Amino acid sequence: MRIGHTLPLGLFAIVAVALGVGLTLDPRLIPSALIGDPIPDFSLPPVDGRPDGLAAADLRTGEVAIVNVFASWCGPCRIEHPLLMEVARRGAVPVHGINYKDLPRNALAWLERYGDPYRRVGSDRTGRVSIDWGVYGVPETFVVDRRGRIAYKHVGPMMPEDMHQRILPLVRELQGG
Amino acid sequence: MTRDLRRFLLSVAAACAVSLAVPSPGAAIGVDRPLPDPILEARARAIHKQLRCLVCQNQSIDDSNAGLARDLRVLVRERITLGDSDGEVLDFIAGRYGDWVLLKPPLDVRTLVLWLGPAALLLMGAGLAVTVLRRPRADPELASGPLTTEERARLETLLEHGENTS
């Protein structure tokens, strides 16, 4: 075959494969720019009616932690909530919450109703701190390593396999290392 | 009487304007409102147009009504007011959300194909077109050029006697 015939065919094959791979990707998943970076400096007040807020210092204690961004108005948050409850019950890793653009009374009622897995919860009424975390929707979940760096980010509600096959193994690995 | 009426209408209009300007409680970082300085606002708008809305991904934050787009608009204006250059503002946002938020991605190793791909494809197409068009015809019978003596003779016979004699 001459090049005049193979070249268009080859180009077509390359484009077809590239587009085919593109079809299998989820365009809603935006790669986090912050993986491996230190957590942002921040200090969030508590949700009114709860004792403790959340600040960067709470995540720089040398302990691996899970940080979950949630809101009472967020439907998918309810899907993953039992998983967070289960992790909190086992107590192997602290779960902290960032309450995103929520009214305190709604947040408290939500935690009352579905359970409160969080060791500390910071209230991000304006969403400003969440922008520093690169949050673009709730729920989002971060794993923070012992040196206060963002090791992993999960966008959207966690499914059991996300928690048990990715997040918890990573937490154990970071705790061991 | 008309003056009273006008004053009444004006106060109603003012009340409406005020109630519209008050943001819903606890909803946003700040108010999504143009900067008083038209030059700074023009810069802010230009930057807004370069930033992708993360929620509705094919719009810029200038076009989008999403809450996060509004927050980012406010943030861009805040950075500009604080004296950031346009590049610093873009870096500030891209530092949090990655190059992905830049509607015009930077030219680096990862985006080389993106930037050079179209030009490369165009060049390849042009090269292909030139080779195909300039290639000599494969069939020698179709080749152009002056007629050979044999052909001329045959042509003359045809013209004289018609096709049946061939």
Asked if B146 reaches chain A (Cβ–Cβ under 8 Å), the answer is no
Asked if B104 reaches chain A (Cβ–Cβ under 8 Å), the answer is no
**B31 and B47 fall within a common domain:** yes
CB-CB neighbors (< 8 A) of B100 in chain A: 30-31, 33
Boundary-marking domain end, from B84, B104, B124: B104
- In a mutagenesis test of the A interface, which of B52, B55, B96 is the best target, namely the one with the most A β-carbons within 10 Å? B96
Residue A32, Cβ density class (10 Å: 0-12 exposed, 13-18 middle, ≥19 buried):
buried
Q: Does B34 reside within a domain? A: yes
CB-CB neighbors (< 8 A) of A137 in chain B: 54-55, 68
SS3 A57: helix
| pLDDT average, residue stretch A73-95 | 95
CB-CB neighbors (< 8 A) of B57 in chain A: 27-28
The total domain count for chain B is 2
**B50 and B69 fall within a common domain:** yes
Boundary-marking domain end, from B104, B125, B150: B104
| pLDDT average, residue stretch A118-141 | 94
**B76 and B44 fall within a common domain:** yes
Chain A positions contacting chain B at CB under 8 Å are 3-4, 7-8, 11, 27-28, 30-34, 101, 103, 125-128, 131-134, 136-137
**B116 and B93 fall within a common domain:** no
Binary contact (B54, A136; C-beta < 8 A): yes
Structural domain span for residue B58: 25-104
DSSP for A87-135, written as a single string: HHHHTSS-EEEEEES--HHHHHHHHHHH----S-EEEESSSHHHHHTT-
CATH code of B80's domain:
1.10.8.640
CA A65 to chain CA mean position, Å: 12
List phi, psi (to 5°) of B94: -65, -30
Averaged confidence pLDDT in chain A = 92
Residue B120 is predicted with a pLDDT of 93
| pLDDT average, residue stretch A6-12 | 85
| pLDDT average, residue stretch A102-111 | 95
Instruction: Kindly report, residue by residue over B67-84, the tens digit of the pLDDT.
Output: 999 999 999 999 999 999
CB-CB neighbors (< 8 A) of B55 in chain A: 136-137
Binary contact (B97, A30; C-beta < 8 A): yes
Residue A3 is predicted with a pLDDT of 63
Averaged confidence pLDDT in chain B = 82
Instruction: Kindly report, residue by residue over B21-70, the tens digit of the pLDDT.
Output: 333 444 556 788 899 999 999 999 999 999 999 888 889 999 998 999 99
Res. A27 pLDDT band, cuts 50 70 90: confident
**B79 and B132 fall within a common domain:** no
Is B16 a residue whose pLDDT tops 60?
A: no
Q: Which two tokens stand for residue B63?
A: 């076009």
CB-CB neighbors (< 8 A) of B72 in chain A: 131
SS3 A84: helix
CA B149 to chain CA mean position, Å: 62
Instruction: Kindly report, residue by residue over A144-176, the tens digit of the pLDDT.
Output: 999 999 999 999 999 999 999 999 999 999 998
Q: Does B4 reside within a domain? A: no
Q: Does B8 reside within a domain? A: no
Q: What are the sequence ranges of the domains in chain A?
A: 34-176
Residue B163 is predicted with a pLDDT of 63
**B31 and B99 fall within a common domain:** yes
Instruction: Kindly report, residue by residue over B101-110, the tens digit of the pLDDT.
Output: 999 888 888 8
Q: CA-to-CA distance for B101 and B95, rounded, in angstroms?
A: 10
**B41 and B97 fall within a common domain:** yes
Binary contact (A7, B128; C-beta < 8 A): yes
Q: Does the domain formed by A34-176 have CATH 3.40.30.10?
A: yes
Q: CA-to-CA distance for A122 and A124, rounded, in angstroms?
A: 6
Boundary-marking domain end, from B104, B128, B155: B104
Binary contact (A34, B75; C-beta < 8 A): no
Which of A41-50, A76-85, B13-22, B30-39 has the weakest average pLDDT?
Answer: B13-22
Give the torsion sign (CA, B111, B112, B115, B120).
negative
Q: Are A125 and A102 in contact (CB under 8 A)?
A: yes
Res. A114 pLDDT band, cuts 50 70 90: very high
Residue A91 is predicted with a pLDDT of 93
List phi, psi (to 5°) of A70: -145, 165
Closest CB to A33 among B28, B57, B96: B96
**B54 and B85 fall within a common domain:** yes
Residue B60 is predicted with a pLDDT of 94
Q: Please tell me the pTM assigned to this model.
A: 0.74
Closest CB to B27 among A8, A33, A101: A101
